[in-house]
Amino acid sequence: MRILDRITGILEAVANSPEPLPAVEVSRALTLPLPTTSRLMRELAKRRYLSVDERSNAYSLGPRPLAWGYAARPAKLTTELAPEMEWLRDATGETVSLHVRTDDLRMCIAEVQSRQSVRRVVPIGLSVPLHFGATGLVLLAFSPSEFVAAYMGKLDLDDDAKRSLDCQLRLAAERGWAMAIDSWITGLAGLAAPVWEGGRVAASLVASGPSQRFTADVMQGQVENIMAAAKRASGRISGTPLP
């Protein structure tokens, strides 16, 4: 039980901190040797229980416990939004999923699969960088400017790629939705819109499918539907249902 106590102590220390913690602070708080603490935290990061900022070497909770938290929390962002996700699935004919931002990643917390034989499958807990796809563009475009600047500064992109990403983010913010085709997975297309709660974007609602079928023209024709579904979803989680 000794190792289990150490691991749970580390996870609780990181979870209870408002800021990412370096190993030395966790070591001091738990009165554990620093080499032991560092080794355990590196192993937890490898298994995605923790996330580490390579620049500061500070740790925050990783996608695995966050996914469990969203799965166990009251149904605000999952069960309550299921009717809107199912409606959008039927309207678009494509898989619909819901994603949230966790540090520099976007993570899937709910999915309603397309009824078509060839369809997109989005595993619950899937976590990828924020700037990947329409889903991430929506979450990043409506994040605080300080966060966006820090995130962009970490990306290993040339100047042209950074300018292109900045343009995409500005366009998503202006439109209130984002579209992407073959952006990070060849053959995949997605159309996303933000779900708002209390003046902040709580999640990204996205319809995605094969790019040969879910073309730019098809997605453009679905903008009104995804915006309507996202608006109703925002009303549901804000406690003010909209028609």
34, 40, 46, 51 alpha-carbon torsion, rounded to 10° = -60
Domain assignments of the chain as residue spans, ordered by start: 2-61, 73-238
- The reported pLDDT for the residue numbered 74 is 43
- The reported pLDDT for the residue numbered 243 is 47
Residue 102 has pLDDT above 90, yes or no: no
Residue 36 has pLDDT above 90, yes or no: yes
pTM of the model: 0.72
Rounded mean pLDDT of the chain? 89
The reply to whether 73-238 shares the fold of 2-61 is no
Greater confidence, 154 or 67? Answer: 154
Tell me the Cα Rg of the chain. Answer: 19
- Looking at the structure, give the CATH architecture of the domain made up of residues 73-238: 2-Layer Sandwich (3.30)
Greater confidence, 201 or 237? Answer: 201
* Strands (E) located in 124-167: 127-129
- The reported pLDDT for the residue numbered 69 is 61
- Looking at the structure, give the CATH architecture of the domain made up of residues 2-61: Orthogonal Bundle (1.10)
Name which of 10, 132, 111, 37 is nearest 67 in CA terms: 111
Q: What are the two backbone dihedrals, phi and then psi, of residue 131, each rounded to the nearest 5 degrees?
A: -85, 10
Q: What is the percentage of the chain residues whose pLDDT exceeds 70?
A: 92
23-30 vs 2-15: helix axis angle to the nearest 10?
120
Q: What is the DSSP string of 210-235?
A: ETTTS-HHHHHHHHHHHHHHHHHHHH
Q: What is the percentage of the chain residues whose pLDDT exceeds 90?
A: 60
